[in-house]
Amino acid sequence: MKPTPLEISFTPTDNQRLANLCGALDENLKQVETALDVTISRRGELFSLSGNSGQTKLAAQVLRDFYSQSQHHLSLEQIQLGLIEAMNLQHKAKNKDVAIDRIDDAQPASPGLLTRRSNLYGRTPRQVQYLQQIQEHDITFAIGPAGTGKTYLAVASAVDALERDLVSRLILVRPAVEAGERLGFLPGDMTQKVDPYLRPLYDALYDLMGFEKTAKQFERNTIEIAPLAFMRGRTLNQSFIILDEAQNTTPEQMKMFLTRMGLGSKAVITGDVTQIDLPKHQKSGLVEAEQILKDIRGVAFTRFLSEDVVRHPLVQRIVTAYEKHDKQARES
């Protein structure tokens, strides 16, 4: 027997606010349908929600919250971030047996960061914990699936430390390992050869500092982006160092990187141990480091899960589906 559709309405009718809520060609409603696995039908100010009872209740609350913000245009990013926060709040409610309230209640207290993005904060409890650990520890590891903010929040923390004069330079490092592909010969000088591997770090910097300011910092050598192989033999003082994609380091490379830290420096190491591109016989330096350093005082670890994904709402469901598939494969 099909569950009875849940109906909500917004009165008195305000066509402009309804248009802002629904988006062009009902794009905002489609985002809600996809993220929460519900079907939404609308006639004027009346909305009919079909699907699982728990999901339709969540969708109704989401629509009410979005409507309360609809005096102005709602961007696609606002809608998707709101949906992510609502799903996180639902997960929290299930675990703690509490009632779902407003989306705003899903926003945990998070350290403030000085970046160009005024709305930047930890959007899940683990992201907040991660930001706090970066501020309180000299070495922080972040391990988890794609889209959980490991790299972006690390770069944001680095920019914040630079803006507050807590460090004198940023050094962003990646191992140049092909992601399951054979790229062959790459033309150009050394910078042009390694740029494709480091592009995600550039993207984060441009978003957090702006293109012109980032370019000036590169000119002054205040910001440096380099392949991991270039770190050997260096001692880095008063620096904020980020090692990204650390699952693709060997144990020897990881030890070499960790021993580059000089006085007044911080290091953040990020990676996803489910996406290791090393040869099959080669052990990951990130996996080994977690085993060796887990009890060392001053070293912090954050383990992100699929519910911490802060990308398109579908990414969280994709990561969860892969985790379920991998679990079934191991058990069979």
Which residues on adjacent β-strands are paired with residue 49? 6, 40
Q: Does domain 6-106 have CATH number 3.30.1370.10?
A: yes
pLDDT for 186 equals 55
- Domain positions in the chain are 6-106, 125-331
In the block, tokens 């309405």 appear at: 9
pLDDT for 92 equals 64
pLDDT for 109 equals 64
Q: What is the pLDDT along the chain (332 residues), one digit of tens a residue?
A: 567 889 999 988 899 999 999 998 899 999 999 888 899 999 989 999 999 888 999 999 999 999 999 999 998 888 888 887 787 777 666 655 444 444 444 445 677 888 888 778 887 889 999 999 999 999 999 999 888 899 999 999 999 999 999 999 999 998 876 544 444 555 665 556 667 777 888 899 999 999 999 999 999 999 998 888 888 888 899 999 999 999 999 999 999 999 999 999 999 999 999 889 888 889 999 999 999 998 999 899 999 988 788 777 777 778 778 888 888 888 87
pLDDT for 188 equals 61
pLDDT for 162 equals 94
- The pTM of this model reads 0.71
The C-alpha angle with vertex 295 and arms to 108 and 270, in degrees rounded to 5, equals: 55
273: helix, strand or coil: coil
Query: Could you tell me the two tokens for 49?
Result: 């929600």
pLDDT for 101 equals 45
State which H helix or E strand residue 267 sits in.
Answer: strand 266-271
The CB-side HSE value for 53 (13 A sphere, CA atoms) comes to: 4
pLDDT for 196 equals 72
Cα(68)–Cα(72) distance, integer angstroms: 10
Taking each helix axis as running N to C, give the angle between helix 27-36 and helix 313-331, from 0 to 180 degrees, rounded to the nearest 10: 20
The CATH homologous superfamily for domain 125-331 is P-loop containing nucleotide triphosphate hydrolases (3.40.50.300)
Which residues on adjacent β-strands are paired with residue 300? 140
Q: Is the dihedral of CA 143, 144, 146, 152 positive or negative?
A: negative
pLDDT for 100 equals 42
Beta strands in 51-153 (DSSP E): 139-143
CB atoms within 10 A of CB 305: 16
pLDDT for 327 equals 84
CA distances from 16 to 68, 234, 237, 240 (A): 13, 60, 56, 47
Cα(196)–Cα(146) distance, integer angstroms: 18
Distance of CA 327 to the CA centre of its chain: 23
User: Nearest CA to 113 among 105, 121, 125, 102?
Assistant: 121
pLDDT for 190 equals 54
State which H helix or E strand residue 57 sits in.
Answer: helix 53-68
Decide if 6-106 and 125-331 have a common fold.
no
